[in-house]
Amino acid sequence: MKNCTVLIVDDEENMRTLMEMYLLNSGYHCLQAPDGVQAISLLEKHEVDLILLDIMMPGDNGFMVCEKIHQKWDLPVIFVSAKGAEWDKVKGLKLGADDFVVKPFHPGELVARVEAVLRRSGKKQQTENETISLGKIKMNLKSRTAAIEGNTVNLTLKEYELLIYLITNKKQALSREQLLTHVWGVSYEGSLRTVDTHIKTLRMKLKSADYIQTVWGIGYKIEEEYEA
């Protein structure tokens, strides 16, 4: 089910080996790079689904490498660094990182963060199917677009990710906390009303294909039959 490749970028060989061991045990493929130059080189030669990126490295630091990566590739990035100050986290997220893990970390935490980011980005589903359907809705995981009865629906990135998560967890009552964590990330500090606001706009855009149900006291769920 995994079949995803993670690029580990860290100047400490022991740390790269440790992270690779955790990920291999969880079914991921891994590539390693000790700096930004080699990371870019590997990205040009291999298909990568997610990047684990250190900050303090020789040459370009992780922030600079992240900027260069996003200039050429649309890939999820998780910073993994001993620099755990709030300023570092904020800067990383502003540069487009999907999450921030502070060293030292528990193996389970690292794998869980990778799982969550891949789930939000749709990479895990892409390895199995390029499209998923629910009633009148068809989601293309490769182009990250949505259509209702063949007509494209203009969704924001978060609306798209929210709808994907609801569809792939159909018939399950998902709490606002779950939705906030899986769509916005564990480092997001906004309120639960963020979920309600996005659900409201999503429902307006789905119109006749609005299969989202409110589960009072919990959150939301989708009940329509799901086809992959």
Whether 81 and 30 share a structural domain: yes
User: What integer pLDDT is reported at residue 52 of this predicted model?
Assistant: 97
User: What integer pLDDT is reported at residue 129 of this predicted model?
Assistant: 54
Whether 83 and 96 share a structural domain: yes
Q: What is the dihedral of CA 50, 56, 60, 66, to 10 degrees?
A: 30
User: What integer pLDDT is reported at residue 69 of this predicted model?
Assistant: 92
User: What integer pLDDT is reported at residue 64 of this predicted model?
Assistant: 95
Whether 187 and 135 share a structural domain: yes
Whether 134 and 116 share a structural domain: no
Task: Give the count of beta carbons closer than 10 Å to the beta carbon of residue 228.
Answer: 11
Stretches where the chain sits below pLDDT 70 are: 1-3, 122-129, 185-188, 225-228
SS3 120: helix
Model confidence pLDDT, tens digit, residues 64-77? 999 999 888 889 99
Q: Looking at this protein, which amino acid is placed at residue 196? A: D
User: What integer pLDDT is reported at residue 34 of this predicted model?
Assistant: 95
- Give dist(CA 64, CA 36) in Å, integer: 8
User: What integer pLDDT is reported at residue 127 of this predicted model?
Assistant: 45
- Assign residue 154 a region (left: φ > 0; alpha: ψ between -120 and 50; beta: otherwise): beta
Q: Across-strand partners of 6?
A: 30, 50
Q: Looking at this protein, which amino acid is placed at residue 19? A: M
Q: Across-strand partners of 78?
A: 52, 99
Parent domain of 37: 5-125
- CATH code (residue 210): 1.10.10.10
User: What integer pLDDT is reported at residue 228 of this predicted model?
Assistant: 44
The answer to whether residues 28 and 96 touch, using CB atoms and an 8 Å cutoff, is: no
User: What integer pLDDT is reported at residue 225 of this predicted model?
Assistant: 59
Model confidence pLDDT, tens digit, residues 8-27? 999 999 999 999 988 888 88
Whether 95 and 165 share a structural domain: no
Question: Nearest 5°: phi and psi at 74?
Answer: -100, 80
- CATH code (residue 39): 3.40.50.2300
Q: What is the dihedral of CA 76, 39, 3, 92, to 10 degrees?
A: -20
User: What integer pLDDT is reported at residue 3 of this predicted model?
Assistant: 66
Number of domains in the chain: 2
Q: With residue 33 as reference, give the H or E element that holds it.
A: strand 29-33
Tokens 């809705």 locate to 137
